[in-house]
Homo-oligomer: A and B are copies of this chain.
């Protein structure tokens, strides 16, 4: 088993699972070791500490998600649509992968203050992504001029909260529906006054899968 990168990946995956399930403190290194089918020595050969391992997991997940959002957005040119797509993509990804959601939205906190920097850093990446397009929407006159930094943050907070609740209580049963309510509310919250009715109605519901 001489493939370094592969072993590293196995450890990362095991860590993702265990951290998501247990949270930082309750995740025991030995469990990650077991789950990764390597050994303690190996884990510590690849990652210098529990903390760094955790960060590596978060980073890699966030990276992938950002990439995905950027890719989806690139398909579209209308700024308001771009924003919509960013929202949809984030919501959809988080609601489809519990581990991802738990790690990015919740478990980080359980590190205590050590995590704050990291969390701010990661949330900021998404916020920046959204803000950029909000600004364009404002410029195009389709969104009301406002502090887009705050709005972007607030959006993430809103999404985060609704998904967290869903993760832990199972309510609402249909997260898709909730997310579409959410999206309508968020978009209306920034809409320019003179917008036509249709613009908000035609929100493409996050695809509901196959019938």
**A112:B181 contact, CB within 8 angstroms:** no
The answer to the question of A154 belonging to the interface, with a C-beta cut-off of 8 Å to chain B, is: yes
What are 12 A-B contacts with C-beta separation under 8 Å? A24-B112, A25-B25, A110-B112, A123-B161, A146-B181, A147-B181, A150-B162, A151-B181, A153-B161, A154-B185, A155-B158, A160-B161
From 100 to 125 in chain A, residues with beta carbon under 8 angstroms from any chain B beta carbon are 106-107, 109-113, 116-117, 120, 123
Question: Residue-by-residue, is A18-61 near B (CB-CB < 8 Å gives 1, otherwise 0)?
Answer: 00001111100000000000000000000000000000000000
The answer to the question of A193 belonging to the interface, with a C-beta cut-off of 8 Å to chain B, is: yes
Per the bound structure, the CA–CA distance linking A65 and B161 in Å amounts to 20
Q: Which of A3-11, A70-78, A165-173 contacts B (4 or more CB under 8 A)?
A: A165-173
Per the bound structure, the CA–CA distance linking A136 and B188 in Å amounts to 20
Chain B residue at minimal CB-CB distance from A108:
B109
**A25:B185 contact, CB within 8 angstroms:** no
User: Taking chain A's interface residues, is the majority helix, strand, or loop, or is none over half, making it mixed?
Assistant: helix
**B169:A120 contact, CB within 8 angstroms:** yes
Per the bound structure, the CA–CA distance linking A161 and B149 in Å amounts to 12
A31 to chain B, nearest CB (A): 14
Per the bound structure, the CA–CA distance linking A120 and B109 in Å amounts to 16
**B197:A189 contact, CB within 8 angstroms:** no
The answer to the question of A190 belonging to the interface, with a C-beta cut-off of 8 Å to chain B, is: yes
Q: Which residues of B contact A129 (CB under 8 A)?
A: none
The answer to the question of A191 belonging to the interface, with a C-beta cut-off of 8 Å to chain B, is: yes
The answer to the question of A182 belonging to the interface, with a C-beta cut-off of 8 Å to chain B, is: yes
**A185:B120 contact, CB within 8 angstroms:** no
Instruction: Decide: A154 near B182, CB < 8 A? Known: A26-B112, A112-B25.
Output: yes
